[in-house]
Amino acid sequence: MGFFTQLYLLCAGVMSGVILFQSSIVASSIFKILPEENAGLLLRNLFPKFFLFLISLAILSIISAFLSDLNFVPFGLIELISFLAMLICYLIIPKTNQARDEKKDSLFAKLHTVSVSLTLLVLILNISIFFMVV
């Protein structure tokens, strides 16, 4: 297995691990420990960085997929989808925060659902890579 294939798999594993850690441990712990106002401030600081980190890993994965001995289709396409999904999540953050601030609960719920759904999609796609390589 070549260097770029290993790098590709490492990126997919890190993306999966970061999503699981952030979503299941960090975010849920923050809401249990901090008052809602402080939890919101902290999450507003963390999630843009979370999405930018995943965007960076997706870009590195796309490059690695192109340079690896893996078939670019589907491996490169999975990471292109990951990149676009995380970019959308990052770009809707201001509208999501605005909806929360303005108590537009329906809009907030829709935007939050989009963000969660796209992040879950990226998680599933990146975990599936390991079943496709074996």
Determine if the pTM surpasses 0.85.
yes
Question: Within a 10 A sphere around the Cβ of 60, how many other Cβ atoms?
Answer: 17
User: Quick one: pLDDT at residue 53?
Assistant: 98
User: Quick one: pLDDT at residue 9?
Assistant: 97
pLDDT digits (tens, 9 = 90+) for 91-101: 999 999 999 99
Residue 74: asked if its preceding bond is cis (omega within 30°), the reply is: yes
pLDDT digits (tens, 9 = 90+) for 9-67: 999 999 999 999 998 899 889 989 999 889 999 999 999 999 999 999 999 999 999 99
Report CA-CA distances (Å) from 44 to 69, 96, 125. Answer: 39, 10, 26
The contacts of residue 17 (CB under 8 Å, 6+ apart) are none
User: Quick one: pLDDT at residue 52?
Assistant: 98
Per-residue pLDDT at 107 exceeds 80: yes
Q: Do 54 and 13 form a contact (C-beta atoms < 8 A)?
A: no
Backbone angles phi, psi at 127, to 5 degrees: -70, -40
The burial of 29, by beta-carbon neighbours within 10 Å (0-12 exposed, 13-18 middle, 19 or more buried), is given as exposed
Helix ranges (DSSP H) in 68-92? 72-91
- Say which DSSP state 1 is in: -
Residues 105-115 have a mean pLDDT of 98
